[in-house]
Structures are given as C-alpha cells and as structure tokens.
Structure 1
Amino acid sequence: MPGIEALTLQLQTGDHHQRSEAALALGRSGDPAAIPPLIAALCSDDDLNVIEDVTWALTRFGTTPIPGLFSAHASADSHGRHNIVHVLGKIGDASAAPILIDSLRESDRRVRVKAVYVLGQIGILDATPALIERLADTDEDVRWTAFETITLPEMRAGPALIDALRSADEVIRENAARALGALGYEAAVTALIAALDDDSFDVRCAILEALAQMSQSSAARAALGGASAHPDAPTRAYASALVKRLG
C-alpha cells in the first residue's frame, strides 16, 4: 500500500474515484498521521461519495480525531462545519457536545438540522434546553427535527418541556405542549392545566390536544371537560370537539 504522503497527495489531487480510494486506504492504515489530511478533505471536498468515504475513514480511528475536528471547526466554512458535525455523530462520543450545541445557532440551516439530529443520535441530555429553543427556529426543517429529537424518550425532556410552557416565546410554548402530548408525559398534566389561561389560542389548542393524548389520566379528562366552559368561545368549542372525539 502507498505511504501516507502518497495517499495524501492522491486525496488532494486525484479524480473522485482516486480520492475515494485514497480516503479508504488512509482509514485502513491505522496511522494517526492520516487524520489531518482526512479532516482537510472533509472540509474541502465537494463530492458526496468522497465525503462519505472520508467519514468512514475517520471513524476507523475512534475518538482520536475529535481534537482535530474541533480545531478544524473553528476555521471551516459552513460546508466543512456540516461535515464535521456529521462525522462527530458517526463517532458518537458525548465529548462532542460543546461543538454540537454551538452548531444549533449556525446561520446555515443545514448545519442546524444536522446538529439537532446528531444530538439526539448521541443522546446528549445536557442539550435539552438548547434543543427546546430550536422549536421556534425560523426554518421548518430545524423545528421538525428538533421536535422529533426532543420527543425521543431517551432524551428525558419532560421536565424541561414543562418549564418551556412558561417561555416568553409563543412558538416554544405551543411546541412544548405538543411535545408533552407526543411523549404522553402525564407528570405534565397539572402544568398543562395551569397553562390553559395562555394568551395565545394556538398554545391553548396545543395544550388541549396534549391533554387529549393523555386522556387515560382522570385529571386530564376532567381538565378537558372543564375547558368546555373556558371564557374564550373558540377554546370552548375546540375543547368540546376533543371531548366528543374521545367519546
């Protein structure tokens, strides 16, 4: 097999087939000297197949590439940062948490989506408050991915979502209620009932839907029935419709 220097040159100058072959060979080499050129290619190459082969090669080194990935992240463009987050997800080590959480505030939506997904993939519980903030992201894909991630049972987000019912951001309050319903988190019933006086109709509807999803709880059923007498007519109507649907 060619040496690290020859493979590095091939990774930098070959066509996409040659670059892929070089990446795979560097990964198989087991030589830590292969890590810097692989990280450089991760940040600069624009061929998806090459990037996937570089990703595979880096993961062959376990957690050893993480410091180099952190260093590269500081100077990489959004393309490179996206790929770095992707590799950190494949490595799957919780030490990547600081970079991943910082990536949630990236201007590039692709990086934010990837960071949200990877935080759930690794299961970094400390990221829960930052993930809840993404429930109000300006990008729909980021919001959806954050919702899907925060409602993974292993993220144990229930208590943080209860706190989010008091957020100053209406969208966060609404999506927090929906997430609690999706989780079926019955410990939230009291907090959901208390939040039924929210100023936002959309938030109140989300709360009612969450209570309906927890209808096995007698307190949730009673709250739905009580909401049929809510001072706001549309809220009363929606609560009555949910009660009727539950039968």
Structure 2
Amino acid sequence: MTMPKQDTTTMRVLQGLEGDSSARLQAVLAMGTTPDPRFVDKLIERCAVEPDFYVRDMLTWALTRHPASLTVPRLVEELRSERAQARSQALHTLSKIGDRRAWPAINRELLTDADDDVARSAWRAAVVLVPENERAELAAVLVTQLGRGARETRLSLSRAMIALGETIVPILRAATTDPDPDVRGHAIATERLLRDPDAGFEFAVEEAKRIVALGPAGREKRGQEKRGQEDRGREE
C-alpha cells in the first residue's frame, strides 16, 4: 500500500529533526511554514534537547505559527519538567505567543528558579503576561532577585522590572537602602535606568557602585544633584 503524499512529506520533515543542525533548521522552518497539529508535540519535545541556539529560536517561531489552543497547554506542561532547558524554552515561547491563559502557570517557583536561564525566561514571560491587577504582586517577587547572578542576569531583571513601569518605583526605592550591597547596588542601577533608559546599564552600574561605596552621604549627594537638575530643567 502506497503512503499518501502528504503523510510521506510529514514523515520526511519529522525525520529532519534527527539530522545535523542544518537539516534540523530546515525541518523546523518547514513545520512553521506549513503548520500541522501533528508537529506540535515534536516541536516541543525538540525544544527540551536542542543544542543549537538558532534552531531553538526557529522552534519558538514554528510554535507561534500553530494555534495557541494547541501549543499553550503543552507548553504549560513543560514548565513542570525536570529539565531546565525545557522550562526555559517553554517560558520563552509563551512570552512570544503572548496568550494570558498561561499566566497562572508563571509561579514564584519559576520566577526564583535556581537556574539563571529559567529565571530570566520567567521574568520576561511574566512582564508580558501579567494582568494589570497583579503587577504589584509580581514586582514584589522580582525585587527579591536583586543582586542575583552576573551582568546578563542582572540586566534581564532590571529590564523586566522597568517594564512594570510606575508599579515598581516604591518597591525599588525601598531596595536602594537594603543592607546587602549587591542588592542595593543593583536597585540603584535599575532606578537609574528607569529614570534614564538611554544611559546604558554599564553606566548605571558604575554610578551605583560609587553611590554604594559612599554610603548614605553618597545617596544624599546624588539626590541633591538630581533635584538640582530638575530645578534647572524647570528654569529652562
């Protein structure tokens, strides 16, 4: 019995996922170009183990091309995976789909995940999916992660907090007096970026280091400078 042409093509595309990185990239491109419900599970399974960044990025794109009613429930299931990459990639894909039905699954455990890649993906997904009336609660969780990790992780957190807008301001301000110098410095750098997004994270971090090193006097001096700049701006 001859297999229908459509099934033959589908099988060939799925087999491409087992080839080299170029073959995998072509296979995933085909899956996104011609969406098929039969592809969803295979795409999500591949997300958990795919070593190539470009293929992973294409996997996310291909999943966004399929109906959210099919992809979102399966991606939410992946958030409970023991494999960190599965959780991280599922969160990343959910942030790209932007379906708020996934929001209840973005819990504190994911937002404080021990794996930095997972935590960063959770922060990005959270600020995209959070309902307006839960932004303050999210901000309260994010602020507990200040001072965590290396530059990339801290920058991701700062960007996520800034995306929450005015909601983050009072919580962030309180963190600028935290006893932990890492938390305090990160909070000051984030506050600086919130006020002046064009300043750049590195500049904000260096300024924060100076303020932390100077202690309360440094914070007061910076406050006086800021008030002076505001007064000059009003005069102009």
Task: Bin the TM-score by the shorter chain.
Answer: 0.5 to 0.7
Whole-angstrom distance in 1 between the partners of 2:123 and 2:54: 23
Whole-angstrom distance in 2 between the partners of 1:62 and 1:215: 54
Say if 1:30 and 1:61, in contact at 8 Å, map to a contact too.
yes
Is 2:98 the partner of 1:87? no
Change (3 A) 1:91 1:31: same
- Structure 1 letter corresponding to 2:68: T
Change (3 A) 1:17 1:174: closer
Change (3 A) 1:49 1:41: same
Q: Which of the residues 31, 34, 38 maps onto 2:36?
A: 31
2:51 aligns with 46
Say if 1:135 and 1:144, in contact at 8 Å, map to a contact too.
no
Q: Secondary structure at the match of 1:75?
A: coil
Change (3 A) 1:119 1:99: closer
1:139 aligns with 150
Change (3 A) 1:92 1:141: same
Say if 1:113 and 1:141, in contact at 8 Å, map to a contact too.
no
Q: C-alpha displacement at 1:206, in angstroms?
A: 4.2
Q: Secondary structure at the match of 2:51?
A: coil
Identity of aligned residues (%): 24
2:83 aligns with 77
Q: C-alpha displacement at 1:37, in angstroms?
A: 0.8
Gaps of 5+ in 1: 186-199, 219-247
Whole-angstrom distance in 2 between the partners of 1:84 and 1:22: 19
Q: C-alpha displacement at 1:43, in angstroms?
A: 0.9
Matches within 5 A, 1:99-110: 99=106, 101-110=108-117
Q: C-alpha displacement at 1:20, in angstroms?
A: 2.3
State the superposition RMSD in angstroms: 3.3
Whole-angstrom distance in 1 between the partners of 2:88 and 2:30: 24
Change (3 A) 1:57 1:182: closer
Q: C-alpha displacement at 1:131, in angstroms?
A: 1.8
**Structure possessing the higher radius of gyration over alpha carbons:** 1
Change (3 A) 1:123 1:157: farther
Say if 2:47 and 2:85, in contact at 8 Å, map to a contact too.
no
Q: C-alpha displacement at 1:58, in angstroms?
A: 0.2
Structure 1 residues 69-110: Cα deviation after superposition (integer angstroms, max 9, x where no partner): 121231251222222222122112344444375333222223
**How many residues were matched structurally?**
203
Whole-angstrom distance in 2 between the partners of 1:131 and 1:203: 24
2:203 aligns with none
Whole-angstrom distance in 1 between the partners of 2:38 and 2:166: 36
Matches within 5 A, 1:190-209: 204=216, 205-206=218-219, 208-209=221-222
Q: C-alpha displacement at 1:31, in angstroms?
A: 2.8
Gaps of 5+ in 2: 197-211, 232-236
TM-score by length of 1: 0.65
2:208 aligns with none
1:234 aligns with none
Is 2:163 the partner of 1:157? no
TM-score by length of 2: 0.68
Q: C-alpha displacement at 1:161, in angstroms?
A: 1.9
Q: C-alpha displacement at 1:163, in angstroms?
A: 4.1
